[in-house]
Structure formats: structure tokens, C-alpha cells
Amino acid sequence: RMSQKNETPAQANTTTAEQPTSTVSGNATPETPKKKKKVSKKVLAEAPNQTLTIIDNRTGGKIEVPIKNGTIQATALKPLSLRSYDPAYLNTALASSKITYISGSQGILRYRGYPIEQLAEKSTFLEVAYLLLFGSLPNTSQLQTWSSRIMSHTYLHENLLTLLKTFRYDAHPMGMVVSSVAAMSTFYPESNPALAGQTVFNDPKLRNKAIYRIIGKLPTIAACSYRHRIGRPYNQPVNNLNYIENFIYMLDHLQEKNYVPHPKLTKALDVLFILHADHELNCSTAAMRHIVSSGTDPYTGVAAASAALYGPLHGGANEAVLRMLESIGSVENIPKFLEDVKNKKKKLMGFGHRVYKNYDPRAKIIKKTAYDVFEVCGQEPLIKIATELERIALTDDYFISRKLYPNVDFYSGLIYKAMGFPTDMFPVLFCIPRAVGWLAHWIELLDDPENKIVRPRQVYLGEDKRDYVPLDERPKAKVSNQEVYWSDFSRRRNVSLGKSAL
């Protein structure tokens, strides 16, 4: 039986928490929960007794567990011979952090305390990057120094350029980015803990150097990957332009003199980079923390985080939105599509979020940015379907009751498409700014006294002890399907060898 006395939230505001928790018997069969009474987090924060009493109905064992910042230590369950089980981190805090605050119920996103709406309107990406990494907004001289150092690290080693050119002509740009960032670790042995010692990043100069290199070179790697994909020669950085202008220049410049990207496009991409710079402990950021907890270098960590971002459930989600809108076809087909969603025949992409149970604040900003882009690039035809789909869904009780609101992916893909980016560049455009968040979490982890190598436990459900059986005495193994497909290149050979060509 678990009885929650009080709870302390990470942020003492007026959003609501639920109590008490439902009773759980010793055989882990939950009883029907009682009606939950909502109590404000402020009340919980001010409660005098910040503990949780847990009684094990199997043994009668009882423990009193301290509550801190709305959490209990999972290791507090050890006296009861119990472990917490949370395979997708649905209710598990992996770390304490001061970087990004999210209130899913209120639709709030803040970087280091600053509302995302203010930063998107008034700031720039490099200024926000400084904020995320170092905790405060820079003054004029600090921003100039920071920007200058980032822009002086945009060039790639010739060997890295050679590596990029060895990829197939149709290589996915994100695969090229992941591989190239991983390769960067081999260029800087002084920053490799495996070579220079485990404490190498206790030196802030080496930390900062890695930060400058990664943030500075990622746009160059991304632009080279894009140019490779479309069969054009790579452009060298031009550091008389700002960070975003230089990136777009490397993407698009052919032989024009004094080419400067359109200011509205530069601003739109700057805003999108700000919105994507960090988002607390999402899949890729958790992967970054997991990897670097072993003491590896940040280049390898960012490559691993990029690989996590590559997945369609994370960085590729806005591409799925585009495909959904294209499949709807016209505004007239929206009611039928939404009925299919309700009947589990179709999926509604770009709505809902693991954290947000309200309108994603980033989606509101992106929607405005979309129309700014359309003014100069022409309106993306899918926007009519998107806005009408949003309007109908937000007036339908089915979606309202399930707290399904547009998220950041719903409009970002439309902007990228209107700007002429192919869909396989979408995760790359996500990766460049998110690297700042990954690096901020890397620094925070290095300085965290609770930092240890990440080593989750498991619940073993496999076979009990079995004795080895000689090969000629074994029955046929019962295993999963081990069939493979054959490529067209093997068809003639397989037929000639008497194998099935299918």
C-alpha cells in the first residue's frame, strides 16, 4: 500500500497535481482507484511533512521515503527488495537540470527562465545558444566574442571533406551528418578522454573548444551533405555573414557575387533554430547524457544523439505530417479523414505530445513564421489543409477531451517545404540547433556531483538454468522468422544455383 502524504514540485506554481495515489497490493494487482482530488502544487510545496509512506502488504515492511522536488529516489525501494519499472521513462526523472522548464499542462516552455515567446521575438540563435550553455544572456562584448569564435570554427579539415565526398550520390544527409560528426572525434586527440585521460574535460578551455567546433562546423557539414545530395560542389564558409546567413549561403550559392540570403528567410530559420535548440530530456538528449556518462568525448556523444534524432518518431516527425497532409489531398476530405482517425483507421500526425497536454507554445510561433515565409516564397498549397484541419480538430470534443493540440512538427515541415528543402533535410535542420541543447546537458552532467555512468537494470523474464545439449541430440530450435530478402542483383545468381529467386 502506498499512501502519499505530501509532494514537493520542481516548480511551485499553481498547476495541479493529483493525490492520493491508488493503493497497490503486495501482489502488484492495482485496486480500483478512488476519485482523485486535485491539489495545487503550491499547497503541496508548503506542506510540512515532505515524505511518502510505503507499506509492503506481502511482508508488512514499512519505509518512510523523503520527497524532494516532487520526486523520490528509486533506490529508496531497495529495503523492500523492489525496483521501479518504467521502460519508456514515462514518469522517471533521469537528472536534475537548470536548463529548460516545461509545463505540459499550461503549455509553457522556458530556456533558463526566459519564455520561449520572448526569445523567438527578440533574440537570435547564437544569443540563445550562449544562454543555454552558460546560463545567462550575454552583453554586447560577450556576444561579439562568442559569435566571432563560433564563426572562426566553421571550416572543415580537408580529410573530413574527402570523407564526405566518398558517400554515395543518394546518401541520406542525416546519415552523412551522423558519420561526419563521429569522425570529428578522430581529428582532435587532445579532446579524446580515451587518449588524453579521463579528466581531460575538467579543463574549461578544452570544453569550450569542443563547443566552438561542434556549433561552428555542424552547419558546414549539413550544407555539404545537402550539396552532395543534389550533385553540386561544396561551398566554403564566408565569415563576413552571420551564423544563419552563412549556412544558407553554403546551401545555395552558385557563382553570384556578394550573395546574401533574403532577410525574411534568414529570420525564419533563426526562429526555427531557437525553437528547436532544447526541449528538456527528450529521446536524443537522454541519449546524449547516456553516452557521455561513460566519459566519452562530446563529438561521439553528439553523433549518438544525432542518430537518435534520425528516427521517424523524433526528428522525422514533421516529414510524417507532410505525408499526412498530402494524403488528405483537399479541404473537403478532412471530415472523412478525422472520422477515420477516430475509428483507428488513420493516424493524426503533428497533434499531441508526450509532455504537452495543451497547445505546444512553439507551434503558435511557427504558425506565424510560416506566413512570413509564404510572403517571399509563395504559399505552400498544403497550408490550407493544415489550418482547416487544425480548426476542425480544435472544435471537436473527441480531440479536445484527449488533449490533442498541434505540436512543433505540425507547421515546421510546411515552412521547410516552402523554403525548398527536401524532406530528407528536415532532421538535419533539427540537428544543427539541437546540438546546442545536447552540449548544454553535457556540461551540466560533467559538473553534476550525482553523475555516474548510466546503467539501468532489467526485469529478467527469460529461461531458468538449462544444461548444454550436444549438437546431434538437439531438437529443431523454435526461433523467430530468420528469412531475408534478396536484392534484384542476386536474382540471376540464385536461379543458377537452384535457389528461389523470390
414-468, pLDDT tens digit by residue? Answer: 899 999 999 899 999 999 999 999 999 999 999 999 989 999 999 999 999 999 9
pLDDT of residue 18 exceeding 70, the answer is no
3-state secondary structure of 376: helix
The predicted model gives 342-355 an average pLDDT of 84
Query: pLDDT tens digits, residue range 23-36?
Result: 343 334 444 555 56
Mean pLDDT of the chain: 88
Lowest mean pLDDT among 164-178, 353-367, 407-421: 353-367
For the segment 460-481, the average pLDDT, to the nearest whole number, is 93
- Closest Cα partner for 220 from 439, 417, 432, 430? 432
Q: Give Cα 347 to chain centroid, integer Å.
A: 21
Checking if the pLDDT of 13 tops 80, the result is: no
pLDDT at 481 over 90: no
Query: Is a pLDDT exceeding 80 seen at residue 54?
Result: yes
Residue linked to cell 556540461 = 443
What integer pLDDT is reported at residue 30 of this predicted model?
Answer: 43
Angle at CA 246, nearest 5°, toward 178 and 153?
60
Most confident residue range from 36-50, 236-250, 375-389: 236-250
Give the residue-averaged pLDDT of 168-186. Answer: 96
Report residue 501's pLDDT band, with 50, 70 and 90 as the boundaries.
Answer: low
Q: Would you state the pLDDT for residue 500?
A: 66
Asked about 396 being catalytic, the answer comes back as: no
**pLDDT given for residue 193 in this prediction:** 93
What distance in Å separates the CA atoms of residue 89 and residue 92, rounded to the nearest whole number?
5
Tell me the pTM.
Answer: 0.85
- Catalytic residue among 172, 253, 314, 448, which? 314
Q: Which residue has the cell 523523503?
A: 66
Catalytic residue among 278, 297, 409, 424: 409
Start-end of H helices in 238-395: 243-252, 263-276, 283-292, 298-309, 317-328, 334-342, 361-377, 382-393
> Residue 447 catalytic?
no
State the average pLDDT over residues 364-391.
Answer: 89
Assign 356 a pLDDT band (cuts: 50, 70, 90): low
Residue 218: is its pLDDT beyond 50? yes
Distance (Å, rounded) from C-alpha 50 to C-alpha 434? 36
Q: Is the predicted pLDDT of residue 396 greater than 80, yes or no?
A: yes
Whether 372 is catalytic is no
For position 36, what pLDDT does the model report? 62
Of 406 and 359, the one with more pLDDT: 406
Residue 488's pLDDT is 82
Q: Using 50, 70 and 90 to split pLDDT, how confident is the model at 37?
A: low
Give the least confident one: 154-163, 329-338, 406-415: 406-415
What is residue 35's predicted lDDT score, i.e. its pLDDT?
55
Mean pLDDT calculated for residue range 301-323 = 89
In a 13 Å sphere around the CA of 369, the CA atoms on its Cβ side amount to: 30
Give the torsion sign (CA, 124, 274, 426, 235): positive
Coil, strand or helix: which one is 203? coil
pLDDT in tens, 357-369: 777 788 889 888 9
Is the model's pLDDT at 135 over the cut of 90? yes
Model confidence pLDDT, tens digit, residues 485-500: 778 888 888 888 887 6
Instruction: Judge whether 285 and 436 are in contact, CB under 8 Å.
Output: no
Give the list of residues 6+ apart from residue 385 with CB closer than 8 angstroms, or none: 325, 328, 329, 330, 331, 334
Catalytic residue from among 276, 290, 353, 441: 353
